[in-house]
A and B are shown apart, each in its own frame.
Chain A
Amino acid sequence: MKEIVLIPEELPKIGLEADTISPDFFANKKIKEINNLSVFCGNEKLTLGDFFDIKGTVGQRISDIKIIIQGDVSLVKRIGQGMSGGEILIKGNAGMYVGAEMKGGTIVVEGDIGSFSGQRMRGGHFIIKGNAGNYLGASYRGDWRGMRGGEITVDGNVGSETGEFMVGGKIHIKGNCGPFIGIHMTKGLIIIEGDADKRVGAQMVGGTILVNGKTEMLPSFKLEGDESNLNINGAKFNGPFLKFKGDMAEMHSKGTVYIRK
């Protein structure tokens, strides 16, 4: 695997739309060409080289590329959007829409990320060592087809409406989460090791949510009984858990929520 290092120089004070920071765009290009990839700052079309010092060697194939961002890019949006392979390592905070629509490969963020990250994700691994904003792994605004596959792991906490309209894949949160986690979800798995804020799984019709901490269930969920130990997709959790079915406010709901008793 060949490494390319991006060192942020003078970043603008408003957001930078940089969906070109992705192995798919970098593959088989010379450093000079990568410098010339376009980014948008407001309504201005600029180049990646205007904001980053780019060094290293570029791989021929997408899967050979590892992009390392050395520093804080919390106002840079859409890093790794739609990437299909390779690796991105962000050694700092990142902005919104990181890994949106990603199909494969790995993104590791050592700091925090902004909202709408992992939006409509289809595959790959997305690891966040800090906290995530709102709408992690959610759908595009208005769409009823959200995250379809892949895996998101967050070591810290997440904001509200995580996994909105989720139709597949897995989200693992090691900290706490905000309200409306798994809202409208139809398939897939969400694990929260900490506490969850109110309205877990609101309007969900399928899929599984596990809260290994405290939360408050909606009255539209039906208590199905106790479970002592859980084994979900090979991951073991020691109970006891309460098992709920719902959201019964929707038709034909088959969603499952486990809460630590």
Chain B
Amino acid sequence: MSLILKNGFVFDPINGIKGDKSTIFIEDGFIVDDLKNKNAKVVDVSNKIIMPGGLEIHSHVAGGKPNIGRAFRPEDHERFVMPKTNITRSGSGYSTPSTFMTGYLYSMMGYTTVFTPAMPPLMARHTHEELNDLPMVDKGGYTLCDGNWFILKYLREGDIEKCAAYVSWLLKATKGFAIKLTNPGGTEAWAWGRNCRNLDDEVPHFKITPREIIEGMVKVNEKLALPHSVHLHANNLGRPGNYTTTLDTLKVPKGIKSQRQRQTLHITHIQFNSYGGDSWNSLESKSDKIANAINKLDNITVDTGNIIFGDTTTMSADGPLEYYLQSITGLKWANRNVELETSPGVTPMIYSPKMATTSIQWAIGLELPLLIKDPWKVFLATDHPNGGPFTKYPEIIASLMSSKLRNQTLSGVNKAVNKRSILPTLEREYDFYDVAIFTRAGQAKALGLDKNKGHLGVGAHADIAVYDLNPDKIDPNNEHKLIKDKFSMAYLTIKDGKIVVRDRKITKVIDGRTYWIDSVTPKNIEKEVYKDIDYYFKRYYSINLANYPVSEDYITRPTVLKTNA
């Protein structure tokens, strides 16, 4: 099928195109420079913005935790219901949307690729079952490696080679896309009722520190030359005064070289790690310190982790954090221990603009993207659904584009914001080019998928979003409501060259690719590691090794990316 998008304003940061009027040719799911088929369908998109399809770098859309969230929050499902249509299924859930609906909602916002950031290896089969039921977008999962006994053992022994061979096997077995570390060391310590809040706290029984785990895994990641860097949920998250731990963490990968043109460490939802003060009563923003440090480093990227005012569900592989949150709110909670691997938790959360703490958290989420100078280092995410549901992204985009909207919101939140955050003093406003980096191009580069994602050059996947906004006419500062509305609902979403959303309606349901990584490690080391795996499974795991790996025929449109170490 061929398609021509005519007369749109193109924002394509990877190719440096800043709103030029041009025509895009699409053939067989790819962007081409000329069409062989002369009977192409022509769509006139004059006075509209064309961007690459949105990329989600961090959103808990599938796996064990979202499913616990869905199961134990029926009241959340009552809040948002989507009836079925002739081609789409019904769904429900505001902060914990059901799988099919998650795909539809992303697609309606112009997103075409979504990564779920926390797949416990033992839950990989379940996660892929949910991803199979998540239509409209390309997807993948990051494999959790934070409390994994093999990894802790190899890193303690300083054996990066063996650790790399194990991780390579683990990514193949779980069909994972990247290495995720959640509160490294802390989740294993949680099994003993303890936590690792600083980088030098020792993990009980393993004689290793979070610093060594992060450093070791960054080395492993670069040894395997994975497309994405290590994806880190830093230690001591969500506690007042944690910015010092974050500053320490930023320095860990210093000096480790990458074979790829990208960062060596991605710190996720950094808003939750930028707190000053020594208690919730004295919580203050330290986003300036964090942003300064990031401005000076060229091997770090971050995503924001904005919070949205209202009721949501927090879920994290960071079990001790979830326990801590429920001890503040007194609401229902769930913890889980995934044997030998990790220990996640889930609890509801209410972010009220009347409260000083949540108002400051909200401010920090906006300060960071405004203070980090290089837009290629900071990306949009609410850590869905921890900070708020992904459906509220347009609210954040509008706030970054309009200082007027920020001031308007500031006047309605707790007054502590004026003293304990710096948002009121910031005047920077994002333009459409910045937004394109912030929501798609930056993510594509950081994920190492920029060959065919996140841009509109020849050879790219024809994943495209068209928004009904005229950059020549609109004044985002004053017309922030329009910005929010139009980014909430794409005028057109094109996935693999097919129009899947038009006029706020799903017009076609398709299945996306599932990305996974096949990396090569030396055969002799693999042999030794397989012996260890065999022994550990017999000795400790509750399931048989043969039942552990997820085979490729289990997933829809498996797409393997091979790396050569």
**Contact residues of A between 108 and 156, Cβ < 8 Å to B:** 139-144
Least CB distance, B68 to chain A, in whole angstroms: 12
> What mask results when residues 61 to 95 of chain B are scored 1 for a CB within 8 Å of chain A, else 0?
00000000000111110100000000000000000
Q: A144 to B78, Cβ gap below 8 A?
A: no
**B75 and A140 contacting across the interface, CB-CB below 8 Å:** yes
B89 smallest CB distance to A (angstroms) = 15
Smallest distance from the beta carbon of A127 to chain B beta carbons, Å?
A: 27
**Chain A residues near B75 (CB, 8 Å)?**
139-143
Taking a contact as CB atoms closer than 8 A, the residue among A140, A141, A144, A251 that contacts B332 in the complex is A144
* B73 contact from A139, A142, A251, Cβ within 8 A: A142
Is B546 on the interface with A (CB-CB < 8 A)?
no
A251/B330 in contact, CB under 8 A? yes
Does B331 interact with chain A (Cβ within 8 Å)? yes
- Chain A contributes a number of interface residues (CB within 8 A of B) equal to 7
CA distance A143 to B313 in the complex (A): 13
Note all chain A residues with C-beta closer than 8 A to B74: 140-143
B84 to A: closest C-beta gap in Å: 11
Nearest CB in chain B to that of A252: its residue: B330
- In the complex, what distance in Å separates the CA atom of A141 from the CA atom of B72? 9
Q: Determine the distance from Cα of A24 to Cα of B331 in the docked complex, in whole angstroms.
A: 34
Interface residues of B: mostly helix, strand, loop or mixed? helix
Chain A at the B interface: SS class: loop
A136 to B532, CA, bound (A): 58
A141 to chain B: which residues have CB within 8 Å? 74-75
The smallest beta-carbon distance between A78 and chain B, in angstroms, is: 14
Which of chain B's residues have a CB closer than 8 A to the CB of A143?
74-75
CB-nearest residue of chain A relative to B327?
A251
CA distance A75 to B331 in the complex (A): 35
A141 to B332, CA, bound (A): 13
In the complex, A3 Cα to B330 Cα: how many Å? 47
Contact with B along A233-247 (1 / 0, CB 8 A): 000000000000000
- Are the C-beta atoms of B331 and A142 separated by less than 8 Å? no
- Digitize B312-336: 1 where CB-to-A-CB distance is under 8 Å, 0 elsewhere: 0000000000000000001110000
- How far, in Å, is A148 (CB) from chain B's closest CB? 14
Q: Mark B359-403 against chain A: 1 for CB-CB distance below 8 A, else 0.
A: 000000000000000000000000000000000000000000000
A142 near B72: Cβ-Cβ < 8 Å:
yes
B37-76 vs A: 1/0 string, CB under 8 Å? 0000000000000000000000000000000000011111
Kindly provide the distance from the CB of A163 to the nearest chain B CB, expressed in whole angstroms: 17
CB distance from B80 to the nearest CB of A (A): 14
| Cα distance A139–B76 in the bound complex, in angstroms | 13
Shortest Cβ distance from B76 into A: residue: A142
Cα distance A143–B72 in the bound complex, in angstroms:
10
Cα distance A141–B78 when bound, in Å? Answer: 10
Cβ distance A240 to chain B, nearest Cβ, rounded Å: 34
Find out whether the CB atom of B73 lies under 8 angstroms from the CB atom of A144: no
In the complex the two chains form, what is the Cα distance from A142 to B76 in whole Å? 9
Complex formed: what's the CA distance from A167 to B330 in Å? 15
CA distance A142 to B313 in the complex (A): 13
List the B side residues contacting A251 at CB < 8 Å.
Answer: 330
Determine how close the nearest CB of chain B comes to the CB of A254; give it in whole angstroms. 13
| Cα separation A142 to B73 with both chains bound (whole Å) | 6
- Tell me the complex Cα distance, A144–B73, Å: 10
CA distance A251 to B327 in the complex (A): 10
- What is the CA–CA distance of A226 and B84 in the complex, to the nearest angstrom? 60
On chain B, the residues within 8 Å of A144 by CB distance are: 331-332
- Give the distance in Å from the alpha carbon of A141 to the alpha carbon of B71 in the complex: 11
What is the bound-complex CA distance between A185 and B402, given in angstroms? 44
CB neighbours of B331 from chain A (8 A): 144
Task: List the B side residues contacting A139 at CB < 8 Å.
Answer: 75
Closest residue of chain B to A205 (Cβ to Cβ) is B330
CB distance from A40 to the nearest CB of B (A): 13
Minimum distance in angstroms from A142 CB to a CB of chain B: 4
A16 to B263, CA, bound (A): 60
Roughly how many angstroms separate A139 CA and B332 CA in the complex, as a whole number?
A: 14
Question: Closest residue of chain A to B77, judged by CB?
Answer: A142
Residue of A whose beta carbon sits closest to that of B72: A142
CA distance A140 to B74 in the complex (A): 8
The smallest beta-carbon distance between A204 and chain B, in angstroms, is: 13
Q: What residue in chain B is nearest A140 (Cβ atoms)?
A: B75
A142-B73, A144-B331 given; 12 more Cβ-contact pairs under 8 Å: A139-B75, A140-B74, A140-B75, A140-B78, A141-B74, A141-B75, A142-B72, A142-B74, A142-B76, A143-B75, A144-B332, A251-B330
Q: Which 7 pairs between the two chains have the least Cβ-Cβ distance?
A: A143-B75, A142-B74, A141-B74, A142-B75, A140-B75, A142-B73, A140-B78
Interface pairs (11), CB distance under 8 Å: A139-B75, A141-B74, A141-B75, A142-B72, A142-B73, A142-B74, A142-B75, A142-B76, A144-B331, A144-B332, A251-B330
Q: Which residues of B contact A (CB under 8 A)?
A: 72-76, 78, 330-332
